[in-house]
């Protein structure tokens, strides 16, 4: 297995990735190393996407490296999606950038004859997900939403509004219920993760003494 991983990360990686994706699409789900980011034409050798993930309009999906997209998720990049470094997307997640929830009633049988850019009541809007954010299994990200870096979206959430950096959100619709800075501060009490932590700004917040900050604010 180590040999296979080394080959994936070599110049042969892209060819292996394309072949594996074609083969495993017909078999049981597999996580496949490597993905070519269409807008930049850069090969993301550490990105892993399930053979069962569905990507619509891949030419409008900008994806960084070290991204994970698990089984049976739908990435609808029709209106553009940007997924930053280190984002993890759970299974059965839907990330959507367009919808016809009102247009089908307004346009009836003429719906299919009208270009989507001209359809009345048609929802559209690009999505962005900040670096090292986690999207829990079964969640839905709706058109036009921007999710900050270092966030945690709880499983089964429906995100219909922008999410600030370092937020923990959950619910239908999703609401902010906490901060990953506070969550990670608990881990730092057992070990110093400064050397591997994902973001310098977040690290400074984690290392702050919340009691000192409260005194300053008062």
The single residue listed with the structure tokens 């939403």 is 145
CA-nearest of 33, 20, 81 to 55 is: 81
Give me the pLDDT at residue 214, please.
Answer: 44
Q: Does pLDDT of 74 surpass 80?
A: yes
Distance CA 155, CA 82 (A): 21
Cβ proximity of 164 and 148 under 8 Å: yes
Q: Which domains does the chain have, with CATH numbers?
A: 1-52 (no CATH), 53-179 (2.160.10.10)
Alpha helices (runs of H) in the chain, residue ranges in sequence order: 2-8, 13-24, 103-107, 180-188, 200-207, 210-217
User: What is the percent of the chain with per-residue pLDDT over 90, rounded to a whole number?
Assistant: 80
Model pTM? 0.84
Question: With 80 as the cut, is the pLDDT of residue 134 above it?
Answer: yes
Please compute the mean of the pLDDT values over residues 135-145 and round it to a whole number.
98
pLDDT at 18: 77
pLDDT at residue 217, rounded to an integer: 47
Residues 186-207: tens digit of each pLDDT: 999 999 999 999 999 999 999 9
d(CA 2, CA 7): 9
Q: How far is CA 4 from the centre of its chain?
A: 26
């Amino acid at each position: 297995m180590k040999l296979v991983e080394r080959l994936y990360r070599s110049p042969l990686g892209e060819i292996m990735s394309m072949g594996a994706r074609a083969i495993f699409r017909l078999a049981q789900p597999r996580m496949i190393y490597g993905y070519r980011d269409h807008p930049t034409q850069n090969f993301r050798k550490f990105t892993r996407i399930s053979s069962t993930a569905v990507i619509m309009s891949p030419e409008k999906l900008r994806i960084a490296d070290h991204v994970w997209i698990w089984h049976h998720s739908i990435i609808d990049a029709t209106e553009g999606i940007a997924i930053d470094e280190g984002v993890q997307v759970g299974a059965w997640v839907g990330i959507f950038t367009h919808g016809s929830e009102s247009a089908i009633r307004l346009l009836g049988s003429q719906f299919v004859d009208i270009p989507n850019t001209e359809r009345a009541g048609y929802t559209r809007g690009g999505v962005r997900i900040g670096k090292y954010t986690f999207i829990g299994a079964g969640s839905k990200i709706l058109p036009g939403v921007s999710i900050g870096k270092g966030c945690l979206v709880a499983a089964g959430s429906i995100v219909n509004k922008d999410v600030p950096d370092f937020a923990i959100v959950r619910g239908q619709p999703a609401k902010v219920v906490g901060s990953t800075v506070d969550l990670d501060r608990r881990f730092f009490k057992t070990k110093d993760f400064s050397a591997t932590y994902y973001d310098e700004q977040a690290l400074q917040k984690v290392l702050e003494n919340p009691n000192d900050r409260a005194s300053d604010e008062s």
